[in-house]
Every structure is written in structure tokens, then in C-alpha cells.
């Protein structure tokens, strides 16, 4: 199956501008008294991107770069400290409780670990039926059952009734992740945030799940924010890729261009270490030194400069602008 760029240019489902999530660094009561200025974890530090209807946008980056936090902030599972999130033209941040409840049906979430994201003491049926019950979507039990069966079938689980009374631990890994997807599908969402949905699964099962997600996009027009640290995976499923580094997007563009013609030195380094099934000359790998720094002490200037092989003195002082370098291709570096 070939995957082409998708997504209706006009229909912007979700627009994020200058999103910021800062956490107060964990601190005892006393030390917060003593230090006037509480330290901040700048987990997400000014993001701009949008997701079109029926599009898969991939958020990639190293551990701790703020991918999950971004996803949660969009769904208001953590409160953003700044910026805007527009969903279908409405300001998510300003939603009141009722609207938020409705929004929770329109936007759903799938997690990384299918073992952890399912309540071990809930049967398959009640896992899937729960959103319907909580939001009182269905009139009667028969309707609930219908919807549950529909969702499970959509998620690629045949013979759903047989599974109704099973517990997650009685399912295989793949089935479990499908169950999690069914739990999201049951409310017929327009948008799903998928946080590393396959990274815990074996290679042989992965493809099936990914395919299911893509199919759902095709058939139901669901948009995804797909979070992963695996660039080859990102390339495989997404329409566009955004690369994050320390709470900021450093590059964003269509999947092919980002992988094939990366602009940002960070992206280039990442792409160079994407595993392939053959021996690679060590010199071809642009290994970066060290690991992503702690978002409490973000370096001044370009936040990537301490690890950047091409850093200049300007990078140390001046923060590069995030701009459209080529049509549809954004980047934040002084030298692109």
C-alpha cells in the first residue's frame, strides 16, 4: 500500500499557536519560600503547528523533548500555561466544563503501553462502553452494545462478543492495542492523539496496528497527532513530521522532505542514525554528543547549540526564528 500525502489544505482541524506548558519544578514548601523565583520545567516552550482534517501529523524527537506534554496540553489533560489551541475554529483553552466534555468525545487518546493503558480490572466490554456511559451518549443498553460491537469490529477484532467478558491480560499484545483503539473509536472522534502506539509491540504485530490507524483515517477521516521517537515509523505513516527538541519544534514538513532533505542540523543528525538493515560506515553517522539537556536549564540562544556540530557564535546568543523556509517546510535555524 502506498501512502501519499493526505489532508485537505483548507480544512484545518486543529491549530496550535505558541503553545507553552511550564511546570513548576518539584520543590519542597520550604525551598519555595527561600527561593523567590521557583524553577520552571519548560516542557513545551512555544509551539506552532496545525493538523488538517484527515491528516496524520507526527511529532518526533528524543525522550524528554515534550512530545507527550504537547499532546496532553492539546487535549487539556494538562493545562497549558500559554498560547492557543483552536479546534474546529474554537478556542479549546476557553472551553467551559460542558464544552470540554463534548470536546472529550471529539478528541481521543491512545497510549504507548497497551498493558498499562487498559484498566486490568475492567472487562473488554466495560472498557469500550465506559465513554458511552460516562457521557450518557446512548439511550439504552442495547444501543451501547451495538456501539461497542461496532467499535470493536472497526478496530479489527472479529467476533467481539466472545471477547466481552475477557480481561486485558487474557488478550495478546496486538489485541490489547486494538482494544485501546476501539475504546477511542466508540465515541466517533474526529481527532486522536496517539502517544507511541506501537513502540511496545513486536515488529511482527506493529504493521497491523499502523495499518488499522491509517485505514481509519481513510475511511472515517480521523486526524491523528502521532507521537513517536522512531523516525522511520514517522516517515512510514505520517503525512507531515514535526521534529521537537527541548520543547520547541525545530523542523516541520512533509514526511518525505523531512526525511530525505532535512534542513536542521538536529534533524540531519537524527536521520543519519535511523537504523537500516545494513552496515553503515561510522563516518556516515552524524553522532551528537551527550543527551538532551534537562528542560529546567534551557541553553540561551539556539537551544540546540551546545550539541550542534555547526554552531557559530551567533547561535549562542540569538534564538533562531521558526519560519517557513520553503513552502510547507518550516525550520528554526539561523543557517537554513
Ligand X SMILES: Nc1ncnc2c1ncn2[C@@H]1O[C@H](COP(=O)(O)OP(=O)(O)OP(=O)(O)O)[C@@H](O)[C@H]1O
- From the list 206, 183, 168, 190, the residue with the least C-alpha distance to 8 is 190
Please say whether the beta carbons of 170 and 86 come within 8 A: no
The interface with another protein within residues 296-335 (CB under 8 A) comprises none
In the complex, the smallest distance separating the C-beta of residue 194 from another protein, rounded to whole angstroms, is: 12
The grid coordinates listed for 101 are 466534555
Which of 41, 308 has the CB closer to Mg ion? 41
Number of residues that bind Mg ion (CB under 5 A): 1
In the complex, the smallest distance separating the C-beta of residue 256 from Mg ion, rounded to whole angstroms, is: 25
Binding mask 49-68 for Mg ion (x = CB under 5 A): -------------------x
Cα–Cα distance, 169 to 195 (Å, whole number): 21
**What one-character-per-residue DSSP string does 206-255 give?**
HHHHHHHHHHHHHHH--EEEEEES-HHHHHHH-SEEEEEETTEEEEEEEH
**What one-character-per-residue DSSP string does 35-59 give?**
-SS--EEEEEEEEEEEEETT-EEEE
b/e map of 208-232 (b: 16 or more CB within 10 Å)?
ebbebbbebbeeebbbbbbbbbbbe
For residue 316, the partner it binds in another protein, Mg ion, ligand X, none, with Cβ less than 5 to 8 A by kind, is: none
228 binds Mg ion (CB under 5 A): no
Judged by CB under 8 A, which of 104, 147, 178, 305 binds another protein?
104
What is the Cα gyration radius of the chain? Answer: 21
Which of 31, 312 has the CB closer to another protein? 31
229 binds another protein (CB under 8 A): yes
Number of residues that bind another protein (CB under 8 A): 89
**Residue whose Cβ sits closest to Mg ion:** 68
In the complex, the smallest distance separating the C-beta of residue 317 from another protein, rounded to whole angstroms, is: 25
Judged by CB under 8 A, which of 236, 298, 311, 325 binds another protein?
236
Binding mask 199-218 for another protein (x = CB under 8 A): ---xxxxxxxxxx--x----
Please say whether the beta carbons of 19 and 247 come within 8 A: no
Judged by CB under 6 A, which of 45, 51, 58, 68 binds ligand X?
68
Packing angle, helices 173-185 and 124-134, rounded to 10:
20
Judged by CB under 6 A, which of 4, 10, 37, 63 binds ligand X?
63
The interface with ligand X within residues 8-27 (CB under 6 A) comprises 23
Cα–Cα distance, 304 to 267 (Å, whole number): 11
Residues counted in the chain: 336
In the complex, the smallest distance separating the C-beta of residue 274 from another protein, rounded to whole angstroms, is: 6
Stretch that binds another protein, among 39-47, 134-142, 217-225, 325-333 (CB under 8 A): 134-142
DSSP letter (8 states) at residue 131: H
Cell 525522550, residue located: 63
197 binds ligand X (CB under 6 A): no
Which three-class secondary structure state does DSSP give residue 26? coil
Judged by CB under 6 A, which of 7, 174, 189, 295 binds ligand X?
295
The grid coordinates listed for 307 are 550539541
Which of 43, 179 has the CB closer to Mg ion? 43
Where does this chain bind Mg ion (CB under 5 A)? 68
Amino acid at each position: 500500500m502506498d501512502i501519499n500525502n493526505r489532508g485537505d489544505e483548507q480544512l484545518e482541524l486543529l491549530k496550535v499557536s505558541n503553545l507553552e506548558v511550564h511546570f513548576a519544578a518539584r520543590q519542597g514548601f520550604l525551598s519555595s519560600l527561600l527561593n523567590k523565583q521557583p524553577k520552571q520545567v519548560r516542557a513545551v516552550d512555544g509551539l506552532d503547528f496545525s493538523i488538517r482534517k484527515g491528516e496524520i501529523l507526527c511529532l518526533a524527537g528524543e525522550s524528554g523533548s515534550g512530545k507527550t506534554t504537547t499532546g496532553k496540553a492539546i487535549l487539556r489533560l494538562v493545562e497549558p500555561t500559554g498560547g492557543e489551541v483552536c479546534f474546529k475554529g474554537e478556542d479549546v483553552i476557553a472551553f467551559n466544563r460542558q464544552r470540554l466534555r463534548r470536546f472529550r468525545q471529539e478528541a481521543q487518546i491512545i497510549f504507548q503501553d497497551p498493558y498499562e493503558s487498559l484498566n486490568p480490572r475492567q472487562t473488554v466490554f466495560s472498557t469500550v462502553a465506559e465513554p458511552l456511559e460516562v457521557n450518557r451518549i446512548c439511550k439504552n443498553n442495547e444501543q451501547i452494545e451495538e456501539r461497542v460491537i461496532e467499535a470493536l469490529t472497526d478496530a479489527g477484532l472479529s467476533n467481539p462478543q466472545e471477547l466481552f467478558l475477557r480481561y486485558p491480560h487474557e488478550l495478546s499484545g496486538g489485541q490489547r492495542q486494538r482494544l485501546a483503539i476501539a475504546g477511542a473509536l466508540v465515541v466517533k472522534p474526529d481527532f486522536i492523539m496517539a502517544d507511541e502506539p506501537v513502540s511496545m509491540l513486536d515488529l511482527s504485530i506493529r504493521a497491523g496496528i499502523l495499518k488499522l490507524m491509517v485505514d481509519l483515517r481513510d475511511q472515517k477521516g480521523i486526524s491523528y497527532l502521532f507521537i513517536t521517537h522512531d523516525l522511520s515509523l514517522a516517515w512510514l505513516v505520517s503525512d507531515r513530521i514535526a521534529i521537537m527538541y527541548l520543547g520547541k519544534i525545530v523542523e516541520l514538513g512533509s514526511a518525505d522532505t523531512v526525511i530525505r532533505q532535512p534542513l536542521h542540523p538536529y534533524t540531519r543528525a537524527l536521520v543519519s542514525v535511523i537504523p537500516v538493515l545494513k552496515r553503515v560506515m561510522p563516518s556516515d553517522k552524524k553522532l551528537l554528543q551527550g543527551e538532551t539537556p534537562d528542560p529546567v536549564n534551557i541553553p540561551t540562544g539556539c537551544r540546540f547549540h551546545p550539541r550542534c556540530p555547526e554552531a557559530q557564535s551567533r547561535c549562542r546568543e540569538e534564538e533562531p526564528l521558526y519560519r517557513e523556509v520553503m513552502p510547507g517546510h518550516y525550520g528554526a535555524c539561523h543557517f537554513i
